[in-house]
Structure 1
Amino acid sequence: MTTDAVPPGVDPTIPSAGRLYDYYLGGTEHFEVDRRAAELVRMAAPELEDAAWANRGFLQRSAKWLAAEAGIRQFIDIGAGLPTRNNTHEAAQAGASDVRTVYFDNDPMVIAHARSLIVDTPHTIFLSGDLRDPDAILNDPALRDHLDLSQPVALMLVAVCHFIADEDDPQRLIGRYMSEFASGSYLALSHGTTEKTSPVIAEQVREIYEKATEQLHLRSKAEIANLFTGLELVSPYDGAEPGLTHIGLWGADDPEAADSDGSRWAFCGVARKP
């Protein structure tokens, strides 16, 4: 990408968490500064590319399950990132064709490209919003026009909460969102972890993200579980007890085969609001 393609509000001299993720997934919406940062990440932790794909698989399998098995017809995806194939709305519509989806992101490059790609996509809109400002998102007139919040929704927070600092209190933020939603709503969340990672490598990756638009806050399994407080976690795959699992395993036909090094960089879960 050249500077001629830089949307207003985008600084091409600072790595972007969203563009780094796009690079890991083989996308094209990134700059030289992103590629350099991503290659440093790759040298420190080559399995993070696998982690990105495992996370993408969790998003797709959970969205389809929520539509096909849980009967959810309304999705809110916050921190959606740059569009790639089989996004939330496509995965969910594979489970039920009448699904309605609202995406939010605070990155102007994401917003510019996403809106151009969904112009002719039914039941799907992309809005500007920051996870850390739930009142602005929940009261956005376009969201309220597109969805009926008196009916269950699925809140998709996929690989976004590890960019929320402790002082912004991700548990409080999630609680605020879920308090607005009807009983029978769901939260699908994935979050980077330090549990199965060398502390030295985790610190190297964190330091690379210190120079990016969003900083990385990896958390323990117990801290990630706290983000589901008040919700009922579902079983992540056949034969498993309800709870968290690594991102490659959720919804996997063969969890043992899906248990890769990359998958262990994050925990995920899907939970229902009673």
Structure 2
Amino acid sequence: MSEHDEIDVERPNAARMYDYYLGGSTNFEVDRAAAEAGRGAMPDAETYARANRAFLGRAVRYLCSVGIDQFLDLGSGSPTKGNVHEIARQANPEARVAYVDIESVAVAHSRRILADVDGVTVTRADIRRPDTVLNAPGVAGLLDFSRPVAVLAVAIMPFVPDDAEAAAVMAAYRQACTSGSYVAVSHISQLAATAEQVAAAEEVMARTPTPVSWRTADRIVPLLEGCSLVPPGLVPVPLWRPDGPVEPEQVVRANAFGAVGVLP
């Protein structure tokens, strides 16, 4: 069975919904309908998606500035403007990027676009299975874990709703990395959203194969255990090393915290 044969077009998919919020085209009507339902439940859903994408770009640029040239992008989704390898290679044309996602459409589309790009791989795998991910040919065959690697977990850990499992998953990736490696995490959190909006948004995602859990800052901290956080630490994503002034309204409407940590 091919990856295309496994595509479920009857149920909305989080990766394709996220792509829709970002203005991409790798989505179906069922995804667009669910995304609009999500927007109805939480009007700032698109702001959240775009703020996370912007955080990813700033984090990658920072990581390149400290000499990181290997990236493991967990839950990479569909290719869109500002891909990790595009950003990283502006600083270092030799940067290597291993993309990982479980969603068939995202993976197939990524492979078509990146087929002729050296030093970039796309692996279809469940990020909740670190051993599988780390031993996949596209990861183990590309990244040298005896040297520093940046593990990017941007807007993906909400899809591991159990706190203990989420912490264990991130711990497994950290343990695979050598000293001097980095971890970048962003996570949906209740800032501007009301409790009713959070409940409604979680209910929308419960109708997909990938339910989510919003987390408060104190529940996000364990995902970065063992890391020394790069200033300014764990903050609302628009405030993590912004490129310019940030409107206070945009800070809370992003409804997400983000941080970058280094393994001592």
TM-score bracket relative to the smaller structure: over 0.9
Of the three residues 211, 223, 233, the one matched with 1:243 is: 233
1:12 counterpart residue number: 9
1:39 counterpart residue number: 36
1:256 counterpart residue number: 246
1:156 counterpart residue number: 152
Between the aligned partners of 2:136 and 2:164, the Cα distance in structure 1 is: 21
User: Do structure 1's residue 101 and structure 2's residue 66 form an aligned pair?
Assistant: no
1:183 counterpart residue number: 179
Of the three residues 56, 62, 76, the one matched with 2:53 is: 56
Aligned to 1:256, the other structure's residue is in SS state: coil
Alignment: residue pair count? 262
- The CA deviation at 1:196 is 4.0
1:81 counterpart residue number: 77
Given that 2:75 and 2:102 are in contact with CA atoms closer than 8 Å, whether structure 1 keeps it comes out as yes
- The CA deviation at 1:7 is 2.2
Between the aligned partners of 2:84 and 2:179, the Cα distance in structure 1 is: 22
1:201 counterpart residue number: 197
1:217 counterpart residue number: 213
2:76 counterpart letter in structure 1: A
1:56 counterpart letter in structure 2: R
After TM superposition, the score normalised by the length of structure 1 is 0.91
Identity, % of aligned positions: 36
- The CA deviation at 1:261 is 5.4
The 4+ residue runs of structure 1 with deviation greater than 4 A are none
- The CA deviation at 1:44 is 2.2
- The CA deviation at 1:102 is 0.4
After TM superposition, the score normalised by the length of structure 2 is 0.94
The residue correspondences of 1:93-132 to structure 2 (distance < 5 A) are: 93-132=89-128
- The CA deviation at 1:107 is 0.9
Root-mean-square deviation (Å): 1.6
- The CA deviation at 1:246 is 1.1
Between the aligned partners of 1:128 and 1:168, the Cα distance in structure 2 is: 24
- The CA deviation at 1:29 is 1.4
Deviates more, 1:204-213 or 1:44-53: 44-53
- The CA deviation at 1:131 is 1.0
User: Do structure 1's residue 72 and structure 2's residue 62 form an aligned pair?
Assistant: no
Between the aligned partners of 2:83 and 2:243, the Cα distance in structure 1 is: 21
Aligned to 1:243, the other structure's residue is in SS state: coil
Aligned to 2:238, the other structure's residue is in SS state: coil
Given that 2:236 and 2:252 are in contact with CA atoms closer than 8 Å, whether structure 1 keeps it comes out as no
